[in-house]
Amino acid sequence: MDLFHLSSRRYTGAKTKLLESIDESILKTFNYKDKRNLSFFDVFCGTGVVSEYFAKKPQFSHCILNDFLYSNFVIYQGFFAQDFFDFKKLESLKQEFANLQAKNIKENYYSKAFGDKFFSQNDSKIIGYLRDTLDRFLELKVINKQEFYILLASLLYSADRIANTVGHYDAYRKNIPLQDRFVYELIEPIKLTTTLEIYKEDSNLLAKQLLEQKRHIDIAFIDPPYNSRQYSRFYHLLENLSQNKKPKLYGVALKPKPENLSKYCNVGAKEVFKDLITSLAKICKVLVVSYNNTYSANSRSNARLKQDEIKEILESIGKVQMFEYNFKPFSSGKSNLSNHKERVFVCQVLTK
């Protein structure tokens, strides 16, 4: 049975290949090997692979996952939430979905918008039909909420795997004959003993909420957006598919009106980062910041925070060590990118 794992997706800035390096950096500063019942806060969760890595370690008993994209929230619920679901029912539905034929499906919002662009016409008809079917099944209580999230996350992964893109949805590849390639496959939910909290919040506001609750967190991992490329715009199609609100679309890339924009992608990145660190320093023992040295011929790809700025802000609240690793960054092929490094700052917060 071919199941999707959490890391089985294309995502800008994914830390899948840096997990051990991040862990080694933390251990050199905060040796947690002999500790138990630690808590981990993934502030900008992205793909969720960092949370998965630490949630599976015996030292960690509680993890907080947060991302402001609705599609990522759906994916976390599908993979991480430990609520009841009937996998035999899901497999049965998968077989039912596999027998769908586009010729028997009416045109829908997704086929009209994305057919012969991001997907073939037939594939987009099936994707749209399945999305509406999941809402109907939930409303009729054919499936429970957890089964809905698993099936919807599975649809996101299945659609993303065959999308006519270079890995994001800022544009689709043109002048390419599209084949019918869509196959609906299920994700494999992660079995954990770790307790979890899953949020879809602005990271700065969530940090303030946790501070108001007087929470105590051992490690916070902070991997904010690097440049001016908004993730809500990069992944607008998955956001659209997740929410199924069917908004009006604009432009060549067929995007809805801008929403859910991150301040970390504009000129105010330094101030909003400082605000976040100030809040987290009051509830966390260790802050881990991952950031790369992206500077290129394409100004949109340039890093919004400089190394010295990150270091200065962290040093204002604790003792900082910086580690550097080779890391291949995202490139659409239009930027001159070389000698790229991922920098990991580990800050032991000084108690006041």
Which residue segments constitute the domains of the chain, with CATH numbers given?
8-82+199-228+268-352 (3.40.50.150), 83-190+233-265 (no CATH)
Residue 296 has pLDDT above 50, yes or no: no
Tell me, what's the pLDDT at 329?
54
CA–CA gap between residue 232 and residue 132 (Å, rounded): 22
CA–CA gap between residue 48 and residue 65 (Å, rounded): 8
328 pLDDT tier (thresholds 50, 70, 90): low
341-349 and 284-292 strand pairing: antiparallel
Residue 331 has pLDDT above 90, yes or no: no
Residue 75 sits at φ, ψ, to 5 deg, of -65, -40
User: What is the mean predicted confidence (pLDDT) over 172-178?
Assistant: 92
Q: Token pair of 203, please?
A: 């990271």
- Which is more confident, 230 or 226? 230
CA–CA gap between residue 181 and residue 285 (Å, rounded): 48
Nearest to residue 344, comparing CAs of 32, 47, 20?
20
Tell me, what's the pLDDT at 342?
87
User: What is the mean predicted confidence (pLDDT) over 11-29?
Assistant: 94
User: What is the mean predicted confidence (pLDDT) over 102-113?
Assistant: 98
Lowest mean pLDDT among 57-66, 76-85, 205-214, 261-270: 261-270
What is the CA 73 to chain-centroid distance, rounded?
8
Residue 254 has pLDDT above 60, yes or no: yes
Residue 352 has pLDDT above 80, yes or no: no
Amino acid letter for position 204: N
88 with 66: CB under 8 angstroms?
Answer: no
Q: Token pair of 82, please?
A: 């430990």
Tell me, what's the pLDDT at 207?
98
User: What is the mean predicted confidence (pLDDT) over 24-32?
Assistant: 97
Lowest mean pLDDT among 89-103, 131-145, 257-271: 257-271
Q: Token pair of 106, please?
A: 């009416």
Lowest mean pLDDT among 115-129, 215-229, 295-309: 295-309
Give the neighbor-by-neighbor strand order of the sheet with 38-42. Answer: 195-199, 60-66, 38-42, 217-222, 284-292, 341-349, 318-326
Residue 336 has pLDDT above 60, yes or no: no
Write out the H or E segment, with its range, that includes residue 344: strand 341-349
User: What is the mean predicted confidence (pLDDT) over 304-330?
Assistant: 89
Q: CB 243: neighbour CB atoms within 10 A? A: 14
